[in-house]
Structure 1
Amino acid sequence: MTEILTPLMNIGQYFIALLKGVPISLAVTVSAFLVGAILGIPLVLMRRSQYWLPRTLARVYIDVIRGIPPVVWLFIIFFGVGSSIIAFTPTQAAILGMGMISAGYLAEIYRGGFLAIPPGQTLASVALGLTRIDTLRFVLAPQVLRVSLPAMATYFISLLKDTTVASTIGVRDVMMLVTQQAQAAGGGFGPFIAAAVIYILLSIPVAAFARVMDAKLRQRVSR
């Protein structure tokens, strides 16, 4: 009995210790997501532009930013740009790097939302005399947001897991504390089990939100 309870008690201790890193992990994830959500708007507008130059620039940015691993971007920003141009703290570099990456992914999610809207919406807006800006603000944007919410929630979960690479540049998030706990325990896997539980618990509310939004969207579409 003792052989079973002892590992469980150790995992419980690791779990409590790792909770100290949850606020940092959430702060980096939420901040990077907000940066990406904002930067993704001009990106998707450039992708939809009738001129080839902004379309090409946006496409190149999205392809490059998504084609390079996140940890490489963090090293470039923190050890490259941060050491010679602008001094970033590890947390700032993580938010900036993951935010830039998020912008590329969220721009594509937005673009999918635009593609899901029937062309007749735009034609009807023109017939009503709305300007392109008013059509975007009052007709297209609300529908794009509604269609994109489930995919955005799903990406948020992915971003929460991807931000674990921030520990490589010194961010004291859950993953850095996991590494420290594992080293102190002599390489045991208990801290990693505790970390897995934490990330599952953090992901469940977002996953539930994504399923609810997807169900509501399907109901509205089927009407």
Structure 2
Amino acid sequence: MSFIADWIEWFPDLANGLWVSVRITAVSLMVGLPIGLLLAVMASNRNSVMRTVSVVFVEIGRGAPALVVLQLFYFGLPSVGITLSAFVAACTALALTTAAFTSEILRAGLQAVPEGEVEACKTLGVSSRDTLRFVVIPQGLRIALPALMGFSILIFQATSLTFTIAVPELLSQSYSIGSSTFNYLSVLILAGLLYAVITIPASWLVASTEKKMSRHLSYAR
């Protein structure tokens, strides 16, 4: 069982890489989700300029592969005098990717809020801004929550792409160990198990949340 001894030896480095992956995911979501919400609100705005800006950003963000965006921020920006560290470039690129994709999820959530509640606010004299802040956005976020949680898992998995810009995340650490030991299979299996430690419980949580939300929405109807 020599591979167990190898796993014990490699585990600290891979655990550090996993922690880097988790940090990138957290920062990307904390930055990207508010931008995504702003884009979703802009897409529903009556102002054609705001709608156009939102649509253009979302279409470019959804159309550009995350790997290309990563390369652009890390290798492309220095040519115009802007240099980002690998970690900052990774967080920035994945945050913008998050914003582009979650804006559509959030827009769908906002549009799913019952029209009757919006009409009730108008009847009570509530301003459009307050209706958006206190009625539409809170309920839209609740409706979109399961899909947002599922997307968060995808962003965590996408952190593996950051090894291409020398971020010392989990996959990068795995390749480093593999290049020194030539035992790629064993170390990549361990890396896969560490990814699974995060993604499988997160998937169960998403499924549980979806069930609870579906019951809540059926009661609301």
Shorter-chain TM band:
over 0.9
Work out the number of aligned pairs and report it.
219
Quick check: 1:15–1:191 contact (8 Å CA) kept in 2? no
CA distance in 2, matches of 1:83, 1:204: 41
Partner of 1:100: 96
Question: After superposition, what is the alpha-carbon deviation per residue over 1:140-176, rounded to whole angstroms, capped at 9, x for unaligned?
Answer: 1111111111111100100001111111111111111
Partner of 2:157: 161
Question: After superposition, what is the alpha-carbon deviation per residue over 1:56-77, rounded to whole angstroms, capped at 9, x for unaligned?
Answer: 2211111111111111111111
Question: After superposition, what is the alpha-carbon deviation per residue over 1:107-165, rounded to whole angstroms, capped at 9, x for unaligned?
Answer: 11101101221211211111111001110111111111111111111001000011111
Read off the aligned partner of 1:68 and give its amino acid letter.
Answer: A
How high is the sequence identity, in percent, across the aligned residues? 27
Question: After superposition, what is the alpha-carbon deviation per residue over 1:157-196, rounded to whole angstroms, capped at 9, x for unaligned?
Answer: 0000111111111111111101111111215311110111
Quick check: 2:110–2:141 contact (8 Å CA) kept in 1? no
Which sections of structure 2, spanning at least 5 residues, go unmatched? none
Partner of 2:80: 84
- 1:179 is aligned, of 141, 166, 175, to 175
User: Is 1:204–2:181 an aligned residue pair?
Assistant: no
- 2:46 is aligned, of 38, 43, 50, to 50
User: Is 1:219–2:215 an aligned residue pair?
Assistant: yes
Quick check: 1:24–1:172 contact (8 Å CA) kept in 2? yes
Secondary structure of 1:129's aligned partner: coil
RMSD over aligned CA atoms reads 1.5
Partner of 1:170: 166
Secondary structure of 2:184's aligned partner: coil
Quick check: 2:175–2:184 contact (8 Å CA) kept in 1? no
CA distance in 2, matches of 1:128, 1:15: 60
Return the TM-score normalized by structure 1: 0.93
Read off the aligned partner of 1:93 and give its amino acid letter.
Answer: A
Secondary structure of 1:189's aligned partner: helix
Partner of 2:131: 135
CA distance in 2, matches of 1:185, 1:84: 39
- 1:146 is aligned, of 136, 142, 148, to 142
